[in-house]
A = this chain, B = another copy of it.
Amino acid sequence: MNTSPVIGIDVGGTTVKGVVADRDGLIIAEVRRPTPSPDPTGALVVDAVAEVVAALDADPTAPVGVVVPGIVDEMHGKAVYSANLGWSDVPLARMLSERLGRRVGFGHDVRAGALAEARWGAASGASGIIAFVPIGTGIAAAFLIDGRPVVGGGWAGEIGQVRLSTGPHAGARVEEIASATGIARRAGLADARVVAERVASGDPALRIVWDETIEVLADVLAGLTANLAPETIVLGGGVALAGDTLTSPLAAALDARLGPLRRPDLRTAMLGDRAAALGAALIATGSSGSSSSASGPNASDSR
């Protein structure tokens, strides 16, 4: 079994995070650079990735995996859409392989985070379907079935985009209310973490903001559970750092909605903001169930 290090790179909305990891997920080196954004052609991001790879100073034959946000079609190696980066059908997998002069694994940040949490993090050893739900600047989900991500042409798991039809926030999209950004905005504070801290210490006005957040998240997770029946849901992103302040009322609200259905095990993520880069490293090794730019059309990709 190959145990040599692997490079994983996560192109985030604001930061490009690069890691060199061993095959046990231990991080040997790490580099961060600002993301050039917007970058409609992808050329600046490709430059930034090349610079991060150089700065990581790893074995030049080390496999490289790169993951990006937005709508990503692994099967065709394309960044289909990203509002932040201004992408529309950019063939990033090919561009990265050409620039780096080697095979580059290519994938989606949330699905990569799910792979890493399943291999080395909160869902390590979990059986059944696994859901990873980062609640940060936005809200999304990724699902692993038999270890393989559900892709749906890049559109699967976009649970933050649905408009609420009823309740106090009817008309708003889920992530406008329940993301870290949405929580902070509704609380009139700079950071959702401060909201969670004040809720934990009994602030009654912020309790209302928090309770409404819980209600929206519980509706979303109840639908997710009814559809896919995950045995484990890993909550990630900045909001999951609230720990019990989040999971305890959320588990109760979910329980109230699930009637006779099987309850998922709610956990908080363990790999923090390195999950996607570690998942990129998994994709680089081809051991992820995800595709790489070199593999071409592959029936497994839409799982």
Can you name the residue of chain B whose Cβ is closest to the Cβ of A71? B262
Would B146 and A302 count as touching, CB distance under 8 A?
Answer: yes
- State whether the Cβ of A230 lies closer than 8 Å to any Cβ in chain B: yes
Q: Min CB distance, A183 to chain B, in Å?
A: 19
- Alpha-carbon distance between A215 and B257 when the two chains are bound, in angstroms: 18
Minimum Cβ distance to chain B for residue A181 (Å): 16
Q: Does A54 contact B (CB under 8 A)?
A: no
| Complex CA distance for A155 and B262, rounded to whole angstroms | 7
Find out whether the CB atom of A228 lies under 8 angstroms from the CB atom of B258: no
Q: Tally chain A residues at the interface, Cβ within 8 Å.
A: 47
Q: How many copies of the shown chain assemble into the complex?
A: 2
Residues of B within 8 A of A154 (CB): 229
Q: Min CB distance, A12 to chain B, in Å?
A: 20
User: Among the interface residues A154, A219, A253, which one has the most CB atoms of the partner chain B within 10 A?
Assistant: A219
The residues in A between 212 and 237 inclusive whose CB is less than 8 angstroms from any CB of B are 215, 218-220, 222-224, 226-231
The answer to whether A143 and B227 touch across the interface, beta carbons within 8 angstroms, is yes
Among A22-30, A158-166, A190-198, A267-275, the stretch in contact with B: A158-166
Within 8 Å by CB of A150, from B159, B165, B226, B228, lies: B228
Provide the residues of chain B in CB contact with A84, threshold 8 Å: none
Contacts of A173 in B (CB 8 A): 259
Roughly how many angstroms separate A150 CA and B150 CA in the complex, as a whole number?
Answer: 11
Contact partner of A223 (CB less than 8 A), chosen from B146, B215, B223, is B223
The yes or no answer to A299 lying at the interface (CB within 8 A) is yes
> CB of A241 within 8 A of chain B?
no
Q: In the bound complex, how far is the Cα of B218 from the Cα of A159, in angstroms?
A: 15
Asked if A145 is at the interface of the complex by the 8 Å CB criterion, the answer is yes
Residues B162 and A259 in contact, CB atoms below 8 Å apart: yes
Contact between chains at A165 and B219 (CB < 8 Å): yes
Min CB distance, A3 to chain B, in Å? 25
| Residue on B nearest A129 in the bound complex, by CB | B152
Q: Which of B145, B161, B220, B226 meets A302, CB within 8 Å?
A: B145
Task: Indicate if A303 sits at the interface (CB-CB under 8 A).
Answer: yes
Measured between beta carbons, the chain B residues less than 8 angstroms from A223 are 159, 162, 220, 223-224, 227
Residue of B nearest to A229 (CB): B152
Does A141 touch B at the CB level, under 8 Å? yes
Q: Which residues of B contact A60 (CB under 8 A)?
A: none
A145-B150, A152-B129 given; A159·B226 CB < 8 A: yes
Cβ contact within 8 Å between B259 and A229: no
Contact A156–B224 (Cβ < 8 Å): no
- Some 24 contacts from A to B, beta carbons below 8 A apart, are A128-B153, A128-B302, A141-B227, A145-B150, A145-B302, A146-B302, A152-B228, A153-B231, A153-B262, A154-B229, A157-B227, A157-B229, A158-B229, A158-B261, A159-B223, A161-B258, A161-B260, A163-B256, A165-B219, A165-B253, A166-B219, A220-B223, A227-B227, A228-B228
